[in-house]
Amino acid sequence: MTTDPNPHATNTVSVLGLGPMGTALAQALLSAGADTTVWNRTASKAQPLEQAGATVAPDAAAAVAASDLVITCLRDHASTRELLDELPAEALAERTVVVFASSTPSEARATQAWADDKDIRLLVGAIMVPTPLIGSPEGLILYSGREDLLEAHRPTLEKLAPRSPFVGADPGMASVLDTAMLEVFFTGMTAFLHAAAVVTANGLSAADFVPWANSMLDILPETFRGLAEDTDRGEYPGTEDNLAMELSALRHMVHASHDAGVDSRLPALLRDVAQDAVDRGHGADGWSRVVEVLRQPR
């Protein structure tokens, strides 16, 4: 494996893959004054960037040849590896490749192993914000694997996201956190939508419900801290709440959903997990006990 990041990194950067995210990345680089080359399989998507000052490369090899830093933002890791594999063997020498396609942790590890095997300097990143926040102070991209490459190109990469933390030497770690953070996000959004369906079936508007939903959000940060403490300690005291009581509340949630004619799979899932914990003899424990139920699926 090559360990020496390019010590002479310049301000040249190429972006391969100009879907909505690749386009946002290239636009942010152009706005920050970087000498930016772009390439996309479907050439027409490069035209707006050309008007914004980017150099459009005729093919992927030319795009890679143009810059020290090569950013890929294709649909997934498999198509990224395929594209890079088609380049001449020496094309990526003296280049740093940053792969931004979303992936599973194991895919990210496979991409890093593939690169190490070919002596390609490659860094994996997980973009944690939507396109409008790329290049803004709220931008957040997680990196894992090759910290040396992140630090060598940090000035350029921070043009995309000022918050660009290195989260671990395991190249899968950015994806671990990406999928875990998205789980919190999608579960929260879906819980809101389920609750909104029940509330609107009872005559309120979804907008009426927002302040009430937000009052639950207010207590989540402290709740997460407590759940994390219990999880890391492996102790699940039911001093403030207990699963037997919570099971009863969750049954009410399922009934309210049925009564409103709304799909009950989400509250039923929560009820079933709580029931499982109670069935295993943990009715007097707190909700944090659920982590053990999830760790030991039947």
Ligand X SMILES: NC(=O)c1ccc[n+]([C@@H]2O[C@H](COP(=O)([O-])OP(=O)(O)OC[C@H]3O[C@@H](n4cnc5c(N)ncnc54)[C@H](OP(=O)(O)O)[C@@H]3O)[C@@H](O)[C@H]2O)c1
Q: Is 255 in the site for ligand X (CB under 6 A)?
A: no
Number of shown-chain residues binding ligand X (CB under 6 A):
23
Please state whether 274 falls in left (phi above 0), alpha (psi between -120 and 50) or beta. alpha
Output the residue with the shortest Cβ distance to ligand X: 19
Please name the residues in contact with 105: beta carbons below 8 A apart, sequence gap of 6 or more: 172, 173, 175, 176, 179
Query: Can you tell me which of 50, 59, 75, 163 binds ligand X, judged by CB under 6 A?
Result: 75
Instruction: Provide the mask over 9-38, with x wherever binding to ligand X is found by CB under 6 A and - wherever it is not.
Output: --------xxxxxx----------------
Instruction: Provide the mask over 155-194, with x wherever binding to ligand X is found by CB under 6 A and - wherever it is not.
Output: ----------------------------------------
Tell me whether residue 85 or residue 259 sits nearer to ligand X (CB atom): 85
Query: Can you tell me which of 102, 242, 264, 288 binds ligand X, judged by CB under 6 A?
Result: 102
Closest C-alpha among 135, 140, 185, 184 to residue 166? 140
Closest C-alpha among 68, 128, 118 to residue 97? 68
Query: Can you tell me which of 34, 64, 73, 195 binds ligand X, judged by CB under 6 A?
Result: 73
- The residues of the shown chain that bind ligand X, judged by CB under 6 A, are 17-22, 40-42, 45, 73-76, 79, 82-83, 100-102, 127, 130-131
